[in-house]
């Protein structure tokens, strides 16, 4: 057990994505049409999404969906990604636990987001789409999609959450380098944006608002589709390449995880690393635990309500059955911009409801502390989002130490933080704070939810 890094060859890049729905004991409730409240038909998604992506979204029967050669060819730029035994971190924590991480930060844009961006751009191109729109929080999804759009010759407009637009100017530069148009959201370029600015002129934006703007532009532009970087079933599907590779790599390491951990925004990197392992639990009753780590300031899984809600602020998206804080929830301006989302995907929400996964919440200062320990031990500076997973992994390793037990921990390093150094500066200067949400505030938001369930 002296090897630290477990590498696959290009031929080991998965040839199919794993769809967990056929293996779920209870399927996710159907999406609903926002106007009629009737279960949504696949065709109703066609005006917004590429048709093949809409079909993947609604597919509850096929466990495996072939990855197109054109997408797999582009995956070869950086996949397979390494699995690393974090021996430095184990030593720093003086824990009997074995800690492994899947390093998705090695993608050209620095996060897991490219796994789905390339797939989505490919299907749009194949169907004759010329323009695509999207939203981005911290800028990771926008950056990934900018490269994917360029790779397939599509024009892209990105609505970027205003607070991140100013906090993370380099992500904007990256998107512009790849040729995308970037607009700070809320903007005056859409009705949804104008409405919100009129109500609250200083609003710094949220993913929910940016989604409304991007959907509105897509619906008003000919030959234009909208794309989403998280929460939806087809995004979870594309991300399973992470866990499918990790499954083989854990075998190479001769170990099997007791617990699989990922940070949680809308659930895509969490689903990506955990669903292939959860499949062992669902099919063969393996004892693996899967844990989502979310910010205390945006606690949809640990304190949200399971209810139908919109994926966006203005209510343009289908109604999604999910754990939500309410689509009007305005999260604090934490530096993990990619985790500032009010809701969660339909699949993970059902898994959570059925007790097949767990969630923990992590305070902002604990994430930066964990990030610093990890960076000093492993030489990689993690994204503030990923640091939630690291903090949760450290908690698990410390529990193993207290109990004097060996435990195998696997977490996903969803991205690096080299473009987030301003956040680290603020942490070292003592300028960062913890944020919690009061029960009152949550109750207020829950009141605004329609009680469909």
Q: Are 319 and 120 in contact (CB under 8 A)?
A: no
Q: Choose between 289 and 335: whose C-beta lies nearer to ligand PLP.
A: 335
Q: In this complex, which beta carbon is closest to ligand PLP, that of residue 98 or of residue 238?
A: 238
**Residue 263 makes contact with ligand PLP by CB under 6 A:** yes
- Residue 404: is it exposed, middle or buried by C-beta count within 10 angstroms (0-12/13-18/19+)? exposed
Q: Return the bridge partners of 111, or none.
A: 415
Intra-chain end-to-end CA distance of the chain, in Å: 51
Task: With contacts defined by CB under 6 A, name the span among 178-186, 268-276, 278-286, 326-334 that binds ligand PLP.
Answer: 268-276
| Cβ-based nearer residue to ligand PLP, 193 or 338 | 338
Q: Rule CB under 6 A: is residue 230 a binding residue for ligand PLP?
A: yes
The residue within the footprint of ligand PLP, chosen from 28, 80, 82, 265 (CB under 6 A), is 265
Q: Write the interaction track for ligand PLP spanning residues 377-396; mark x where CB under 6 A is met and - where it is not.
A: ------x-xx----------
**Helix H or strand E encompassing 420:** none
**Which residues, other chains included, contact 44 with Cβ-Cβ below 8 Å and sequence gap of 6+?**
33, 318
Cα 82 to Cα 54, 106, 377: the distances in Å are 31, 8, 17
342 binds ligand PLP (CB under 6 A): no
Q: Shortest Cβ distance from residue 263 to ligand PLP (Å)?
A: 5
- Site for ligand PLP (CB under 6 A): how many residues? 20
**If binding is defined by CB under 6 A, does position 415 make contact with ligand PLP?**
yes
Please identify, using beta-carbon distances, which residue of 133 and 367 lies nearer to ligand PLP.
Answer: 367
C-beta contacts of 86-89 below 8 A and 24+ residues apart: 86/374, 86/377, 86/378, 87/4, 88/377, 88/378, 88/379, 89/373, 89/374, 89/377, 89/378, 89/394, 89/397
- Positions in 45-64 near ligand PLP (CB under 6 A): none
Q: Which of the 8 DSSP states describes residue 305?
A: E
Q: Is 338 among the residues that bind ligand PLP (CB under 6 A)?
A: yes
Are 271 and 239 in contact, with CB atoms under 8 Å apart? yes
Strand partners, 261: 291, 411
For residue 107, give every residue at least 6 positions away whose Cβ sits within 8 Å of its Cβ, in sequence order, or none.
Answer: 77, 78, 81, 113, 114, 115, 144
Q: Determine, following the binding rule CB under 6 A, whether residue 264 of this chain makes contact with ligand PLP.
A: yes
Question: Taking CB under 6 A as the rule, does residue 111 contact ligand PLP?
Answer: yes
Closest to ligand PLP by CB, 236 vs 253, is 236
Beta strands in 51-192 (DSSP E): 64-66, 83-85, 98-103, 131-136, 155-161, 181-185
Out of 133, 268, 317, 387, name the contact with ligand PLP by CB under 6 A.
Answer: 268
Cross-strand bridge partners of residue 121: none
The reply to whether 134 sits near ligand PLP by the rule CB under 6 A is no
Q: Whose Cβ is closer to ligand PLP: residue 374's or residue 407's?
A: 374
Cβ closest to ligand PLP, residue 210 vs residue 400:
210
Position 120 contacts ligand PLP (CB under 6 A) = no
Q: Which residues bind ligand PLP (CB under 6 A)?
A: 111, 113, 140-141, 230, 263-270, 338-339, 383, 385-386, 414-415
């Amino acid at each position: 057990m002296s090897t630290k890094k477990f590498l696959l060859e290009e031929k080991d890049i998965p040839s199919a994505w794993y769809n967990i729905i056929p293996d779920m004991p209870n399927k996710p409730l159907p999406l609903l049409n926002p106007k009629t409240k009737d279960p949504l038909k696949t065709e109703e998604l066609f005006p917004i999404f590429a048709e093949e992506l809409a079909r993947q979204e609604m597919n509850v029967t096929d466990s495996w969906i072939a990855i197109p050669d054109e997408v797999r060819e582009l995956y070869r730029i950086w996949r397979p990604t390494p699995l690393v035994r974090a021996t430095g971190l184990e030593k720093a924590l003086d824990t009997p636990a074995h800690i492994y991480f899947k390093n998705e930060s090695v993608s050209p844009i620095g996060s897991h987001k490219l796994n789905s961006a390339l797939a989505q751009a490919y299907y749009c191109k194949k169907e004759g789409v010329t323009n695509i729109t999207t939203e981005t929080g911290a800028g990771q999804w926008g950056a990934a999609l900018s490269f994917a759009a360029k790779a397939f010759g599509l024009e892209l407009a990105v609505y970027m959450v205003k607070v991140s637009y100013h906090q993370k100017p380099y992500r904007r530069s990256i998107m512009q380098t790849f040729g995308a148009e970037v607009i700070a959201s809320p903007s005056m370029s859409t009705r949804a944006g104008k409405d919100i600015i009129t109500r609250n002129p200083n609003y710094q934006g949220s993913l929910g608002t940016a989604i409304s703007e991007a959907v509105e532009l897509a619906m008003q532009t000919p030959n234009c589709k909208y794309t989403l970087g998280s929460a939806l079933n087809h995004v979870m599907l594309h991300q399973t390449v992470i866990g499918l590779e990790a499954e083989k790599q854990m075998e190479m390491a001769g170990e099997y995880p007791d617990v699989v951990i990922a940070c949680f925004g809308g659930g895509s990197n969490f689903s990506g690393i955990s669903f292939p392992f959860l499949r062992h639990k669902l099919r063969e009753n393996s004892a693996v635990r899967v844990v989502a780590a979310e910010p205390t300031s945006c606690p949809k899984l640990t304190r949200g309500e399971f209810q139908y809600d919109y994926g966006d602020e203005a209510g343009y998206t289908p109604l999604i059955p999910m754990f939500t804080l309410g689509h009007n929830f305005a999260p604090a301006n934490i530096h993990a911009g990619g985790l500032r989302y009010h809701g969660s995907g339909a699949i993970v929400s059902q898994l959570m409801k059925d007790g097949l996964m767990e969630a923990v919440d992590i305070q902002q200062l604990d994430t930066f502390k964990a990030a610093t320990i990890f960076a000093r031990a492993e030489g990689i500076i993690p994204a503030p989002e990923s640091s939630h997973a690291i903090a949760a992994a450290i908690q698990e390793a410390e529990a193993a130490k207290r109990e004097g037990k060996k435990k195998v921990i696997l977490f996903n390093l969803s991205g690096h933080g080299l473009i987030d150094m301003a956040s680290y500066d603020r942490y070292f200067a003592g300028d960062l704070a913890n944020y919690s949400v009061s029960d009152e505030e949550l109750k207020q938001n829950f009141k605004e939810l329609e009680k469909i369930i």
